[in-house]
Structures are given as C-alpha cells and as structure tokens.
C-alpha cells in the first residue's frame, strides 16, 4: 500500500471567550448578588476587581482578585466568583494558560449552570490540547464526552492527543467511537476526526479502516487529494492476478473522472489496459492527458508513451472506420453484448448521448459477459451528460457478485453524489 500523504488538519481556532462572557462579569456582586452570594469578607476586593474589569484594567483586576486567596473567611462561592473574574481578566490579557486553573475551579465548584459547565469543559479540553498537555487533554476530553457534553472538536482533541503521543491504536479507537456516535445520531462526521482515523489506521497498517476513513472523507469532503489516496490505496491493495486487468482498467476510469491521474505509470498503464480491453479511444485520451500534465519526463517514459500512442492511433482509426457497421450489427443482434461494446466505443469518442442509448439497449437485451461493467459504463455515460442522479442509480444497480466490482460501484456512487 502506498504511503498516505500527510494531511493538514483544519486550523483549530482558540476561542478567547472561554470565560462566561462580559455580561456575567459586569453584574455587580455588591448590589443584587445572586444566591449564594459573595461573603462580606470578600466583597471589597471582588467588587473592586469588577470595576477594574469594566474599566479594562485587567492587570489591576487580577491583583485585586489575588487578595481573595489570603482571606481566611472566604467561602466556596467567593472562590468561584474570584475564579470566574480572574479567568476572564487573564483571558483578556492573552494569558489563557494562566487562566486554565481558574476555568477548572469554576467547573469543579458546582455553581455553574450545566450548560456553562459543559461549554467550559470543552474549552478546558481545547486549552490543554493547544498547550500540548496531551494527557490532560485526554483526561478532560473523556470527562466531557462521558458526560455527554462533547462535540466533534472534543472528539478530535482526544483522538489527536493520543496520536501526538504515538498511541496510534488509541487514536483509532477514539475516532471509531466518534464515528459510531455520529452515525447513531444521524449526523455528518467532522473532517478532523476522520483525518485522525485515516492517519492512525495507516500507522498501525489497518488497511480496512484506512479505506473506511478515506471513503468517508470523499463522501463528505470530496477533495481531490482524498480521492487520489482512496483510489490508489484500493487499486494497489486489490492485488494483481488473473482477471484483474478489467478491474484495474475500470479503477483508472474512475481516477480519470476524479482528476487523480498524476504519475507517468497512471497514464501509461491505463493506455496499455485500454488497448488490451478494446478501447483505443481511451488509450489515446490517457496519453494526451499524460502529455498535458508533463508526466512523461524520462526518455524511457517518452518512448513508451510514443509507442503506445502509435498503436492506439492505428487501432482507433480502424475502430472509427467500422463504427457505423458495428452499430448496425449490434442493434440487429438479439444479445446485448454488441450494444455494450458499441456504447463503450461511443463513450470513448465523446458521444455520451448515443452511448447511453446503446448501453441501455444492451442491458435490456441481456446475455452479457459482464452485466455489472455494463451498468458502470452506463453510469459513466450518464455522468458525461451531467445526469448525476441517474448515474447514481445506474451504479446502485450493480449487483456486485465480484467483491472488487461491488467496491468500484460503491466508489462511483460516491463520486456521482459528490
């Protein structure tokens, strides 16, 4: 299996508003304090700290709140109120790391409303992760998730914290848990946890989960790089043996449509297979694409491409010359194989509308060597007409008696719906 290209995880924006917000810290404790309220012993430094915060004198506010620590008669609520204000002031000063213990103190106090405690718990997980304290990020993340207060980012922080510690199996386990939770809820999975599943599965050589992660990525985030990694992984992981040429050629067809043919071997092998599968038009097309992409850089590659181009051109000329006669014979035949071969040829010569007609006629007649491939060709022809919904239905109609063809049809379905 080829190496999966290292993916760049989406930027995680660190929220400054981890404290309860400006509205919470500008309410005067000295006036109508909530119940429970700040004690008389602590009211002076806390009130003065609030005034300093309202005046945006955050350093002064922190200094006043530090005084609460030395008040012997301070109550649990005093400690909470001071922690709330101190976390906010430190956050405004850009000192999120110093604010961390005061966020934790608020959560542990029991005075926060449940929704605020949940939000702050997610924020603490994020801060530990950003500060590269991965054990703490895992601890707080798990606590948040187990309480049912996590979100996609929380799952990512926990999974990627495992990954950062090279616990790839642990990372994959958490990412898999996340997927189960998302699927149960009927929600769209976030991109970053899927990337963790991809990278960690690749690290532990779990090909099944590597492919699973890539399939989910192309379904929900159909980027060209994800398609390239998926198709190369599936192509190279299928094995090359007797009867594999047709499958590999069809995989190249999907790579072509997804815009993921890149290396010289992609274009050369596709051209060679197209010739052997009786589709010289597709061989010529593959070689033209390779030349346009400047894929053939060595003399050996240029020579191979030139030789294949000559062969494809000669076969294509013969093919085109006999197309009208072939069409007449195919239409007159009781079996549909001729119509399917005609449809393949028409498709390779950019005659998608006629290709659809021929393929549908051949499928309806039956008696085909490979009915599943005929359905895939029909789907491709429909895609060339920009009939994506119809193409998806054609791919879904593949019975998939061959597991590899079933996989191919599923991937085509993702592409049609993407």
Q: What is the mean pLDDT of the chain?
A: 90
Q: Is the pLDDT of residue 207 over 70?
A: yes
Is there a contact between 376 and 408 (Cβ–Cβ < 8 Å)? yes
pLDDT confidence of residue 14: 34
Tell me the average pLDDT across 50-60: 96
In the Cβ-directed half-sphere of 75, how many Cα atoms lie within 13 Å? Answer: 14
Lowest mean pLDDT among 43-47, 245-249, 322-326: 245-249
Mind listing the pLDDT tens digit for each residue in 274-320? 999 999 999 999 999 999 999 999 999 999 999 999 999 999 999 99
Q: Is the pLDDT of residue 17 over 60?
A: no
User: How many whole angstroms from its chain centre is CA 182?
Assistant: 14
pTM for the structure as a whole: 0.83
pLDDT confidence of residue 237: 81
323-417 is classed CATH 1.25.40.10: yes
Tell me the average pLDDT across 249-273: 96
Under the banding of pLDDT at 50, 70 and 90, the label for residue 241 is: low
Under the banding of pLDDT at 50, 70 and 90, the label for residue 400 is: confident
The reply to whether omega before 36 is within 30° of 0 (cis) is yes
Tell me the average pLDDT across 397-411: 90
pLDDT confidence of residue 30: 38
Under the banding of pLDDT at 50, 70 and 90, the label for residue 7 is: low
pLDDT confidence of residue 340: 97
Residue 44 to residues 22, 38, 51, 95, 215, Cα–Cα distance (Å): 20, 10, 11, 25, 60
Tell me the average pLDDT across 268-277: 96
């Amino acid at each position: 299996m080829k190496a999966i290209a290292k993916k760049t995880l989406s930027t995680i924006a660190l929220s400054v508003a981890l404290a309860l917000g400006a509205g919470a810290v500008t309410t005067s404790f000295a006036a109508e304090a909530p119940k429970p309220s700040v004690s008389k012993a602590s009211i002076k430094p806390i009130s003065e700290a609030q005034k300093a915060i309202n005046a945006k004198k955050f350093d002064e506010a922190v200094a006043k709140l530090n005084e609460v620590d030395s008040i012997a008669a301070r109550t649990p609520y005093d400690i909470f109120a001071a922690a709330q204000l101190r976390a906010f002031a430190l956050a405004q000063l850009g000192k999120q790391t110093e604010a961390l213990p005061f966020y934790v103190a608020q959560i542990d106090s029991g005075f926060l409303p449940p929704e605020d405690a949940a939000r702050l718990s997610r924020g603490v997980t994020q801060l530990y992760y950003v500060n590269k304290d991965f054990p703490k990020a895992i601890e707080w993340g798990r606590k948040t998730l187990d309480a049912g207060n996590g979100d996609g980012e929380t799952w990512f922080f926990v999974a990627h914290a495992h990954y950062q510690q090279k616990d790839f199996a642990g990372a994959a386990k958490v990412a898999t848990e996340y997927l189960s939770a998302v699927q149960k809820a009927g929600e769209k999975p976030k991109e970053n946890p899927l990337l963790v599943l991809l990278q960690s599965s690749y690290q532990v050589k779990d090909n099944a989960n590597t492919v699973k992660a890539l399939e989910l990525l192309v379904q929900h985030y159909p980027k060209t790089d994800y398609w390239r990694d998926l198709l190369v992984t599936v192509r190279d992981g299928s094995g090359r043996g007797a009867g594999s040429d047709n499958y590999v050629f069809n995989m190249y067809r999907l790579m072509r449509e997804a815009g993921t043919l890149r290396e010289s071997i992609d274009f050369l092998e596709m051209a060679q297979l197209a010739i052997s599968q009786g589709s010289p038009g597709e061989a010529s097309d593959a070689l033209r694409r390779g030349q346009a992409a400047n894929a053939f850089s060595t003399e050996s590659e240029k020579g191979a491409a030139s030789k294949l181009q000559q062969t494809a051109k000669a076969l294509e000329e013969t093919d085109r010359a006999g197309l009208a006669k072939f069409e007449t014979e195919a239409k007159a035949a009781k079996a549909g194989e001729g119509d399917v071969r005609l449809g393949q040829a028409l498709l390779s010569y950019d005659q998608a509308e006629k290709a659809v007609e021929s393929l549908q006629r051949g499928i309806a007649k039956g008696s085909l060597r490979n009915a599943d491939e005929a359905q895939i060709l029909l789907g491709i022809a429909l895609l060339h007409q920009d009939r994506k919904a119809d193409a998806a239905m054609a791919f879904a109609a593949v019975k998939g008696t061959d597991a590899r063809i079933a996989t191919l049809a599923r991937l085509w379905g993702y592409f049609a719906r993407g």
